[in-house]
Amino acid sequence: MYCIARRCVLPSFSKEQAESLLAEAALQSLADLFEAVPDPRGALGLRYDLPFLLTCLIAALLCNCDGTEAVAQWCRDHVALLEDLFGSRLFLMPSGWLYRWLLPQLDACAIERVLGKWVQATTSASADEPLALDGKTVRGARSGEQAAPHLLAFVTHQSQETFWQVHVDEKTNEIQVAKQLLPTLPIRRRVCTADALLTHAAFLRLMHELQAETVLTVKGNQPTLYADLATYFADPLARYLQAETIDRRRGRIEVRTIKVSTEMNTYLAPGWPFVAQVAQLTRTVTKAGQTTTEVVYLITTLTASKASPEYLLDLNRGHWSIENRTHYVRDVTFGEDRSRLRTGNAPQILVAFRNLAITLIHRSGSSHIRATRRHVASCPQQALALLGFPKGGQQSFTSPDLHLEWSIGQSGCVSFFA
Give residue-wise pLDDT tens across range 319-347: 988 888 888 889 888 988 888 787 889 99
- When pLDDT is cut at 50, 70 and 90, the band that residue 19 belongs to is low
The rounded mean pLDDT for the chain is 84
257-281 pLDDT per residue, tens: 999 999 999 999 999 999 999 999 9
Domains of the chain listed by start with CATH number: 2-105+345-379 (no CATH), 110-332 (3.90.350.10)
Does the pLDDT of residue 408 top 70, yes or no? Answer: no
pTM (2 d.p.)? 0.85
Band (pLDDT 50/70/90 cuts) for residue 14 is low
Would you say residue 182 has pLDDT above 60?
A: yes
Does residue 379 surpass a pLDDT of 50?
yes
Q: What is the mean pLDDT of residues 43-57?
A: 87
Q: For residue 11, what pLDDT band results from cuts at 50, 70 and 90? A: low
Question: pLDDT above 90 covers what percent of the chain?
Answer: 50
Which of the four pLDDT bands, split at 50, 70 and 90, describes residue 3?
low
Q: How far apart are CA 218 and CA 231, in angstroms?
A: 14
Q: To the nearest whole percent, how much of the chain has pLDDT over 70?
A: 84
Q: Give the residue with greater pLDDT, 133 vs 415.
A: 133
With a cut of 60, say whether residue 416 has pLDDT above it.
no
Calpha distance 38→106 (Å, rounded) = 7
- Structure confidence at residue 214 as a pLDDT band (50, 70, 90): very high
Under the banding of pLDDT at 50, 70 and 90, the label for residue 392 is: very low
Confidence of residue 168 (pLDDT cuts 50, 70, 90): confident
The pLDDT of residue 396: 38
User: Which of 116-120, 320-324, 362-366 has the largest mean confidence?
Assistant: 116-120
| Rg from Cα positions in the chain | 23
Does the pLDDT at position 402 exceed 50?
A: no
Q: What are the Cα distances from residue 87, in Å, to 52, 59, 211, 303, 413? A: 11, 17, 47, 57, 20
Which of 53, 48, 55 has its CA nearest to residue 4? Answer: 48
- Residue 151's closest CA among 316, 350, 13, 381? 350
In terms of Cβ atoms closer than 10 Å to its own Cβ (0-12, 13-18, 19+), residue 142 is: middle
Confidence at residue 405, expressed as pLDDT on a 0 to 100 scale = 39
Question: Which pLDDT score, from 0 to 100, does residue 15 have?
Answer: 65
Confidence tier at 236 by pLDDT (50, 70, 90):
very high
pLDDT of 202 strictly over 80? yes
User: b or e along 338-371 (b: 16 or more beta carbons within 10 Å of the residue's beta carbon)?
Assistant: ebebbbebbbbbbbbbbbbbbbbbbbbbbeebee
